[in-house]
A and B are shown apart, each in its own frame.
Chain A
């Protein structure tokens, strides 16, 4: 079974600074990776996903992530953050489970943007 580790539970940064949220997954032959964002008391919204092809994936709100097979990582980056990026971010990997696709989530990283 797949597993996901988000290396930082909290990341504080100043507004307009760059940020990287780290995600490592357990190795597998085929891997499909997702980043979701959750604003307070809301559901999850897809930021971006990697299924195949280019290892640099661009998503919404200026975020991007790079798939690194040798390091089994899928880190999320943004060159300049805004106050509105304050949220919790979840990395997830797709795993087959009884013939169906299941998402396995990391523990989440709380991103706090300070003015």
Chain B
């Protein structure tokens, strides 16, 4: 089955700690995205990548970092600089040509201890 997997489903972060959220896709999509979801605010774009070894900041990149070493993988690190990390994080992917549908993973809920 083709799709997007995210792990873990729940993640707990201590103060001053960096944590990494995993996102893997087997859809052979070139583009991948990370969104943050907060209640009543919809989804906001953190980072996106159109090709391996290249990525760009979205609307709320401060306190986050990403890498794209493989086409199928786009991990997100929430650094200690992100002062309000509690949220639901969603990874998505799409083809690059034209206006393409973005397909979403099941999400990771990050909580601060």
Contacts and interface: CB of A to CB of B under 8 A. Distances in A.
A interacts with B? yes
Contact of A46 (B40, B42, B101): B101
B49 to A, nearest CB: 9
Interface residues of A, number: 25
A56 interface: no
Contacts of A90: 42-43
Interface residues of B, number: 28
B101 A9 contact: no
Interface on chain A toward B: helix, strand, loop, or mixed SS? Answer: strand
| Shortest beta-carbon contacts, A-B, top 7 | A43-B104, A105-B42, A44-B104, A105-B43, A32-B99, A107-B42, A43-B106
B40 A101 contact: no
B102 A43 contact: no
Interface of B: 4, 6, 31, 40-45, 48, 50, 56, 58, 90, 92, 94, 96, 98-107, 109
A111 B107 CA distance: 20
Nearest to B109: A41
B45 A102 contact: yes
7 contacts: A34-B101, A42-B107, A43-B105, A44-B104, A94-B99, A103-B43, A108-B42
Interface of A: 9, 32, 34, 36, 41-46, 49, 51, 90, 94, 97-103, 105-108
A99 to B, nearest CB: 8
Contacts of B98: 101
B107 A101 contact: no
Nearest to B41: A107
Given A100-B31, A100-B50, 12 more contacts: A32-B99, A34-B101, A41-B109, A43-B6, A43-B106, A45-B104, A97-B45, A99-B50, A101-B99, A101-B100, A103-B102, A105-B42
B56 A100 contact: yes
B40 A108 contact: yes
A72 to B, nearest CB: 18
A39 to B, nearest CB: 10
Contacts of A9: 40
